[in-house]
Chain A
């Protein structure tokens, strides 16, 4: 039985019609492909418009079409449009093929004759394929109303609060003992110079008290199974050695603890904490944690001062890690960033020359709750610097390290300049390549710094050295740079150097991505579904990303993304069930030899292996239809609905115009 196929060739204004003879192609399709089942062929200026779609729908009804081929733009853009149109006219949407004669033809060729011939071939391919298309129904899966938010920084906190306030339950998992993330370390935030902790802690407290949020700090996700609406997540709640039910957060334990440890995480190595500690006084939750690597009890078996003094008997040295399993419908990853390691640039002297600081170190220096009580002093703890150099673009915009711009360092460097002016009256020099101040109030902040008398030197610092050449440089740190605006090499002596180190993806971003079944970019940031139009969704349904984990950004942008991800999740929860594309791979279990090549190749972890039957099976909800396993299976046991061998091979036959008598091969002379 021959199908009844309608062919529709779009002009796309002049995008296609300017190069391809669309009327001619349409006429040709109606004549040459009639033998293959084409009963009607039309061309139209804008197929995707409502009038264009109505054309198709009218023909489906009147011509009793059983298949539709539209030759227009890329399926990435309008496949859903035309499928919906067909559905509206009562034709199964998966019996409609959209072939690209724009991105794959008119937009990449200038030879009109060759492009027209190519368009004919492409359409013929589409016609041959559509003959083998089958009616398919999308899968419908229910959505569990609980949500997992991974990462308790500002983005994660925002997302969790929005979902919880809407009445749904959230598990907020955070790796550190307290939520707050990097924002909790900062002193002031640009451009308003709000105290960071003052604007963050109210939100943290809300999270801590919220009836709809289960806060799991000092915890990590270890396993994720399932698919959108139905994730099974295993969380390891590391032992705090504190019985949370009994602890009041009074603080006697850390007061009495005799063991001091350099705090590499929160204090950025500038200050110390105890072996039993909360990372900062406003920590949420208020329960401390025992660092079992440095605690005297775990090393030698002695001390136990905390246990002795605890008024509620809340210390439990034998506490074990707990494994918690939860079911959630959606997951938001807001795992934040790591700082670029400035020792990778030895010529800047970090860790070699004492008074060279990174941005995070300086935030702690300047913070009133920090190790120097907010006094900006040198490493000796008392000398106030008289000249400070602030270096932009450390490890960013540099092919030798990270090629991208870290987005916040210019504003951060201006902020530092302001704080140094305010607290010390020192001369401040900012060394920059470009001044990036794009958002609201940012350029005005730059103006403010100009007024304050900051010396701006446009030049990327070549080196920071302590080798003096003239008496004025003795005992100083000398910044050697070309002042590009005057075209001269300058050596500027300062007392303190602050390196605005760039932002990087977390060191374990790749592993985390694999755990959740999403992908990382070349620089290890999590990849969004579309960089312009869909920055919080990922290619995996049900997993969203928010905040710096998706790319360097400031606090307002992180908050926005957290809220956006929350909105997406709430939308899904409201729908109660979601429908998934039926373009999936399936394993023919009779042909499967159990070699397991496909299991590890699947970028979405969608293929399970049944040990008992020694065969693999594709989970249709996780499968995104990428086709990797189909290609890899040595037995050819995997085929894809929507891209079966027959469909692909017949499309190739069509491209070569094999079934059409007396057609020249579509090759340019």
Chain B
């Protein structure tokens, strides 16, 4: 219902990194739960291109991965990344995208399985939902407490 004001920053991998790194202090770690600046690290690590769009209460960094998969990272402007979502032919490098939460995901996933085409993990604040099959995967991970007020989880995809 909210029509967000959007600003598109379409750029190559290198300039995309510079743009974001130029605005915000550089961080060496990956995205989920990290400052928005860490998106630049992901873009660099993934050798990807990025397009950033500002919505009412968050900014979406759309990272086009070489595999063809689109990785979207949701951040509070100037704050932290609170969600990542992916869709495309390959599962992205989730260790990079989930950062410190990757090990939590792996640990929790061992205990709870939802079939080969679907997995859902709820571990404290972390929710990871991953689905799909060969050539078509989608999923997302978010920190429930960090979602900005007024933002629905339905927007996080």
> Is the A/B pair a real complex?
no
Residues of A within 8 A of B (CB): none
Interface residues of chain B, those whose CB is within 8 Å of chain A, are none
